Amino acid sequence: MLRAENLLRRAHPAGVADGDVTLGRLRIDAERREITLDGTPLTLTAREHDLLAYLARRPGRTISREQLLAEVWGWTIGDVSTITVHVRRLREKIEADAGAPDIIATVWGVGYRLNASALDPPAAS
């Protein structure tokens, strides 16, 4: 029974909710499973998509690596360094400067937070 529950949880992680999200320049179309930034579709792996969607549905909230592992991956045990690698790859695709990220902030010793204000359109001069 536990094996069946684990398989179901992996197939449909509980934390990846349905529904469209718009945060400034970022738009998530849940039905089409498409994420766009500045109107340009992002080329993301399934895990990167789920990770970004999870964070975008909780803007400003610090999410621990363990919580991301459980909610996005559906794993109760595992190496949290996989989260670090996926966040790094995701930053390379969405940040203007992945070395100095604005959108996905690291909360040292805890996890990550999506900064919705970093997705606001630039102010007109």
- Confidence (pLDDT) at 15: 46
pLDDT at position 108 is: 95
Q: What is the pLDDT of residues 36-56, one digit of tens each?
A: 999 999 999 999 999 999 999
Q: Give the predicted TM-score (pTM) of the model.
A: 0.83
Which residues does 42 contact at the CB level (< 8 Å), separation at least 6? 35, 36, 52, 93, 94
Q: In whole angstroms, what is the distance from residue 36 CA to residue 107 CA?
A: 25
Considering only residues 81 and 1, tell me which one the structure prediction assigns the higher pLDDT. Answer: 81
Can you tell me the mean pLDDT for 86-107?
Answer: 96
CATH 1.10.540.10 for domain 2-119, yes or no, is no
E-state strands within 1-125: 21-23, 26-29, 34-37, 40-41, 63-64, 104-107, 111-114
pLDDT over threshold 60, residue 12 = no
- Domain ranges across the chain: 2-119
Residue 76 has a pLDDT of 84
